[in-house]
Structure 1
Amino acid sequence: MTPIAIVFLCLSIVIVWGGLVASAVFLARRPEVDEYPPGGEEADPAEGPHFPMRDT
């Protein structure tokens, strides 16, 4: 392998594994959402679908 290929391999490994470690640390520090945004209550099924219906 050429030196530039080795550099890019090391850089990509650091980015991927670093992201994994950072996300694990973030999840360990803040495991749950403190408060959800409004409008997240269960929808009433009698109201019908909450997405646009297309007649195609």
Structure 2
Amino acid sequence: MTPIAIVFLVLALAIIWGGLIASTVFLSRRPEVEAYPPDGDDPAGEEVYDIPPIRDT
């Protein structure tokens, strides 16, 4: 392998394994949400949709 290939291999491994380790540490410190808002998170009477409306044209 060429030196540049080894550098990119080490960089890619550091990013992947570093992200895995960071997410594991984060989840071990805060495993789940401590408190949820009462009656959900949407204001009363307001409907929020994540998908856009379908248009039949």
Same fold by TM (over 0.5)? Answer: yes
Deviates more, 1:30-39 or 1:9-18: 30-39
Instruction: Write the mapping of 1:28-47 to structure 2, written as runs, cut at 5 A.
Output: 28-37=28-37, 38-39=41-42
Greater helix content: 1
Distance 2:54 2:4 in 1: 52
- Of all paired residues, the percent bearing the same amino acid is 61
TM-score, structure 2 as length reference? 0.63
The SS at the match of 2:36 is coil
Aligned alpha-carbon RMSD (Å): 2.5
TM-score, structure 1 as length reference? 0.64
Q: How many pairs align?
A: 48
Letter of the 1:21 counterpart: I
Letter of the 1:35 counterpart: A
- Which sections of structure 1, spanning at least 5 residues, go unmatched? 40-49
Structure 1 runs of 4+ aligned residues shifted over 3 Å read: 50-53
Q: Does 1:9 align with 2:5?
A: no
